[in-house]
Structure 1
Amino acid sequence: MTRTSNLQSPALESSASGWLNGFIGVLIFSGSLPATRVAVLEFEPLFLTVVRASLAGLLALCLLLLFKERRPSPAQLLPLGVVALGVVLGFPLLTALALQYVTSAHSIVFLGLLPLATAVFGVLRGGERPRPVFWLFSLLGSLLVVGYALSQGLTASPRGDALMLLAVLVCGLGYAEGAKLSRTLGGWQVICWALVLSLPIMAALTLFSASPDFNGISLPAWFSLGYVSLFSMLIGFVFWYRGLAQGGIAAVGQLQLLQPFFGLALAAGLLHEQVSLGMLGVTLAVILCVAGAKRWAR
């Protein structure tokens, strides 16, 4: 019994560290959509996307050089490209575009699908065989989100809702691919290398899309740009990928279920956006569906 306990102790410690790191990452990510909402009111979506990636990429390059990290192997370049397309370019750009049409509180409801998307891509990449009940909960959660969009009048913002759904899909793919890669490359190294690989293109697009005059940009918009560049694009992923690597995609990924609640609180508290009881109810129902789906994932 003593020997078994000693063998399990490192695994338990790693799991506890994974939950802690994952929780910190979720807290950081929860401010992303409200901050993007503030920034996109004064910055063009394309410029906001590429400049945040460029700033984070420069910092990531400094970190890799400072710690003299080994370069990724040729076999790791393609997965890094998937991570870059998913979380460096895809999710930031799609959400910035979506937030031109919907509020951050509205968009946060769609984040209830993010754990499900991560789980599905984790299943596809890991070769797991979930039970049929898993797919029942998955379908129910998706129907709840679509039903909510319809009840709000889909004709009012069909583009915003479609962009948010695409953002969730590409982000889930980037999370799952990055979590798998972090087991061999390292947690913070994954996002840093993905940012560095994207840096030449992002820097060029930053110069191309930059406005000739930034005098009219308010201080909150600059702070929001700084937040999504430093915290959402880099620091959050340092904790998040490390947590996924330590505790596993299926387990630590459940912490994403808290993100809509944190995000709605920020949207209401900082942006004074209206959060209806219906919006809270749908968010809670989606979270319950995702929790049920993950319960039967294996």
Structure 2
Amino acid sequence: MALNPDKTPTPLLIAPFFLWGTAMVAMKGVIDTTTPLFLATLRLLPAGLLVLIAASILGRKQPQTWKGWAWIGGFALIDGTLFQGFLAEGLQRTGAGLGSVMIDSQPIAVALMARFLFQEVVGPLGWIGLIIGIIGISFLGLPDHWVLELGSRLTTGFSTGHWQLPSFSVPLTAADSFWLMLLERGEWLMLLAALSMAVGTVMIAYVSRHVDPVVATGWHMVIGGIPLLGLSAYTETQQWQSITLPGWFAILYATIFGSAIAYGIFFYLASKGNLTSLSALTFLTPVFALSFSTSLLSENLTGVQWCGVALTLVSIYLVNQRNTISQAFLQILAGPSVMTIIKPFNPELAKAVVAWAASQTPMTPPDNK
């Protein structure tokens, strides 16, 4: 069943992405006074308890089978522990706006998984969007001088016809190896967080077959927060001693609005509709995050990173709006204006174009429930 924006109020559709974007800014504003795993724990455990209390008040049914609990456990590990852990660690090494762009590249992975698991239609525009998204993520995640050198070599190759692969001069010492250097960049930790959330988004379609999606959201936050709490207690020190009063308010906002309310709404909608289209609405999240981080935290991006942001947002827009754009193109192609040009010269071709356009009307993906 495709998610129908006409039946779902627009503010409800937009709410999770606004709350996630602003919560990212709130977390970045306080992360220097605490530790990442402790912050991730506070983002999950209290929020999960709030969701479970709300679910109980609303009369939502608790898990009834071991299979339901097993799905919740897997959901908690992927979308709770791994996602929030990678997010908090990555946020230490990158800005809130840029980190949000990396996190919200997850529709690319969701589109691929939903295509093969649920046969959701990606279409030509969707695949173009995915390719653009990969390029955009590369601009964000790789060092600027790599991207600039590669662009220079490609430009030279096009102009001269002589191609040469760039040499990135990666030191091979143990302390500064290729993979260590990449993982030390917050963008790649954010990308791992995005992949975790993408898997979690797809998993909710299976989880909701056995457990109420709102209840599953609450339990996955509680269970997913327990390993983070243990890791924080074992590996971190001075977790809360330096947090100021405004910092506690920022954590409270990220917990209640950025987790409890945002995740409750998102996974409820994800259990009801088209995963690719819903997830691709996350292009709104970095817009909110970049706006607030620029104005409140004075964060600035490099020229290469801004290009990556633009490409990633274009990618997510194309994936999200692929059916609408395709339908508009087909209507133009088979419309009277084009037919007026084609028909006098080749009536058979005009008839074939109309028939082809009708056969290419985007299909509704199957019900995911």
**TM-score band, normalised by shorter chain:** 0.7 to 0.9
Q: Distance in 1 between matches of 2:69 and 2:119?
A: 21
Name which of 259, 263, 266 aligns with 1:237: 263
Deviations 1:161-187 (A, max 9, x none): 221111110011112222553466444
- Native 8 Å contact 2:33 2:240 kept in 1: no
TM-score computed with the length of structure 1 as normaliser: 0.81
Instruction: Give the match for residue 248 of structure 1.
Output: 274
- Alpha-carbon shift at residue 219 of structure 1 (Å): 2.4
- Out of 111-120 and 34-43, give the one that drifted further: 111-120
Instruction: Give the match for residue 243 of structure 2.
Output: 217
Instruction: Give the match for residue 172 of structure 1.
Output: 198
Secondary structure, aligned partner of 2:94: coil
Instruction: Give the match for residue 3 of structure 1.
Output: none
Instruction: Give the match for residue 226 of structure 1.
Output: 252
- Native 8 Å contact 2:31 2:39 kept in 1: yes
- Native 8 Å contact 1:191 1:237 kept in 2: yes
Q: Distance in 2 between matches of 1:65 and 1:148?
A: 42
Instruction: Give the match for residue 46 of structure 2.
Output: 55
- Native 8 Å contact 1:114 1:169 kept in 2: yes
Could you tell me the percent identity over the aligned residues? 21
Instruction: Give the match for residue 4 of structure 1.
Output: none
Residue identity in the other structure for 1:59: L
List gaps (5 residues or longer) in structure 1. Answer: 1-10
- Native 8 Å contact 2:201 2:270 kept in 1: no
Instruction: Give the match for residue 92 of structure 2.
Output: 100
Deviations 1:81-109 (A, max 9, x none): 23212332222211211122222232233
Q: When the two structures are aligned, how many residues end up with a matched partner?
A: 287
Instruction: Give the match for residue 90 of structure 1.
Output: 82
Larger Rg computed on CA atoms: 2
Instruction: Give the match for residue 215 of structure 2.
Output: 189
Instruction: Give the match for residue 135 of structure 1.
Output: 127
- Out of 183-192 and 224-233, give the one that drifted further: 183-192
- Out of 275-284 and 185-194, give the one that drifted further: 275-284
- Native 8 Å contact 2:103 2:193 kept in 1: no
The verdict on how the C-alpha distance between 1:128 and 1:41 changes in structure 2, with shifts beyond 3 A counting, is same
- Alpha-carbon shift at residue 20 of structure 1 (Å): 3.8
- Native 8 Å contact 2:135 2:311 kept in 1: no
Secondary structure, aligned partner of 1:41: helix
Q: Distance in 1 between matches of 2:134 and 2:307?
A: 15
- Alpha-carbon shift at residue 255 of structure 1 (Å): 1.5
The verdict on how the C-alpha distance between 1:282 and 1:205 changes in structure 2, with shifts beyond 3 A counting, is closer
Q: Distance in 2 between matches of 1:83 and 1:205?
A: 19
Deviations 1:199-225 (A, max 9, x none): 554555565567467443222322222
The verdict on how the C-alpha distance between 1:112 and 1:194 changes in structure 2, with shifts beyond 3 A counting, is closer
- Out of 258-267 and 17-26, give the one that drifted further: 17-26
Name which of 96, 100, 108 aligns with 1:116: 108
Name which of 50, 63, 69 aligns with 1:77: 69
- Out of 276-285 and 149-158, give the one that drifted further: 149-158
The verdict on how the C-alpha distance between 1:245 and 1:44 changes in structure 2, with shifts beyond 3 A counting, is same
- Native 8 Å contact 1:85 1:174 kept in 2: no
Instruction: Give the match for residue 158 of structure 2.
Output: none
The verdict on how the C-alpha distance between 1:289 and 1:202 changes in structure 2, with shifts beyond 3 A counting, is closer
The verdict on how the C-alpha distance between 1:124 and 1:64 changes in structure 2, with shifts beyond 3 A counting, is same
Instruction: Give the match for residue 8 of structure 1.
Output: none
Name which of 26, 30, 33 aligns with 1:35: 26
- Alpha-carbon shift at residue 78 of structure 1 (Å): 3.2
Instruction: Give the match for residue 149 of structure 1.
Output: 141
The verdict on how the C-alpha distance between 1:180 and 1:248 changes in structure 2, with shifts beyond 3 A counting, is farther
Instruction: Give the match for residue 293 of structure 2.
Output: 267
Q: Distance in 2 between matches of 1:42 and 1:162?
A: 23
